[in-house]
């Protein structure tokens, strides 16, 4: 595997598969390694330092498998670990490697989706508390008003395959109502967690008319296509055999069963350990 150069896609669990699916559709020729840190998921309620250490250990594992480019397909990891890895780790230890996240590509285009100049951002506690989205969005759109809402019950519901149940409706409506109560001007809502696309049917049912829903997968995929076009030094070394490999720190059988909820093809994974 190390002789082949793959694009690494990392998430704390399953949610990154929704982004990976969009990437693989846009760039089907490349080799990919998907790595879920399921044994330590969810990341959303962990401390900044813990998330950073977990993310770094998994990124370094992907580097060791021959991935010169790693996508953090996880909003919490992107919010709490990406900048430190890019600024303090890569230049010193891995100067030829690149790590990208999902926040900046989304922030670069989010202004297209609002006419009222006010958007809602729904994410995990970790993502919301980091203020990464307001900071990044204001770099791109200084006048845009960003209203955030943490949704701590959404990921557990999805990871336990309860997102289609009637019980999930209570928490979907609860967090949407709390967000919209903060501002009557919100006309677009960004789902700032890669798990949340599985709740889209229920979310739409509780959204007022005229409020747009923004999902990240296609945005991140489009950004990656552009990145590879601009960075031929990375693109030229990537292996193009259309192969996909899946790894998890959790139970591989459980991962394979649950992955089918997020990914529209059969997944066969291997369990690995990281320190």
- Per-residue pLDDT tens digits for 108-121: 999 999 999 999 99
> What pLDDT does residue 93 have?
98
Asked whether residue 251 is marked as a ligand-binding residue, the answer is no
CATH of domain 7-102+218-271: 3.40.50.1860
> What pLDDT does residue 260 have?
85
Asked whether residue 11 is marked as a ligand-binding residue, the answer is yes
* Catalytic residue (choose from 58, 67, 74, 151): 74
> What pLDDT does residue 45 have?
77
CA 49/CA 231 separation, integer angstroms: 31
The answer to whether residue 58 is catalytic is no
> Which pTM does this prediction carry?
0.93
CA 215/CA 35 separation, integer angstroms: 21
> What pLDDT does residue 152 have?
94
Asked whether residue 36 is marked as a ligand-binding residue, the answer is no
Give the three-state DSSP class for 148: strand
> Which part of the chain is CATH 3.40.50.1860?
7-102+218-271, 105-216
HSE value, Cβ hemisphere, 13 Å, CA-based, for 36 = 32
With a cut of 70, list the residues of the chain below it in pLDDT: 1-2
Query: H/E element holding 205?
Result: helix 200-205
CATH class of 105-216: alpha beta
> What pLDDT does residue 2 have?
60
The answer to whether residue 67 is catalytic is no
The whole-angstrom distance between residue 235's C-alpha and the CA centroid of its chain comes to 22
Asked whether residue 75 is marked as a ligand-binding residue, the answer is yes
> What pLDDT does residue 241 have?
97
64: how many CB neighbours lie within 10 A of its CB? 11
């Amino acid at each position: 595997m190390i002789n082949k150069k793959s694009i690494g896609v990392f998430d704390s669990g399953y949610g990154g598969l929704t982004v990976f699916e969009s990437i693989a559709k846009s760039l089907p020729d490349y080799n990919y390694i998907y790595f879920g840190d399921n044994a330590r998921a969810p990341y959303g309620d962990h401390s900044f330092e813990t998330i950073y250490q977990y993310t770094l250990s998994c990124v370094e594992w992907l580097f060791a498998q021959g991935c010169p480019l790693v996508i953090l397909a996880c909003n919490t990891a992107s919010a709490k670990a990406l900048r430190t890895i890019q600024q303090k780790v890569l230049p010193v230890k891995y100067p030829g490697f690149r790590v990208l996240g999902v926040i900046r590509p989304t922030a670069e285009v989010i202004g297209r989706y609002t006419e009222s100049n006010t958007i809602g951002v729904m994410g995990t506690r970790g993502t919301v508390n980091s203020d990464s989205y307001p900071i990044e969005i204001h770099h791109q759109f200084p006048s845009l008003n960003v209203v955030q809402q943490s949704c701590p019950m959404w990921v557990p519901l999805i990871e336990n395959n309860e997102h289609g149940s009637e019980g999930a409706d209570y928490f979907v409506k609860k967090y949407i109502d709390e967000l919209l109560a903060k501002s009557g001007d919100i006309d677009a809502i960004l789902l700032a967690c890669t798990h949340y696309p599985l709740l889209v049917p229920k979310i739409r049912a509780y959204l007022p008319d005229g409020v747009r829903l923004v999902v990240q997968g296609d945005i991140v995929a489009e950004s990656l296509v552009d990145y590879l076009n601009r960075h031929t030094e990375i693109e030229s070394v990537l292996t193009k055999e259309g192969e996909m490999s899946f790894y998890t720190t959790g139970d591989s059988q459980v991962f394979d069963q649950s992955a089918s909820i997020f990914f529209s093809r059969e997944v066969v994974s291997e369990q690995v350990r990281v320190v």
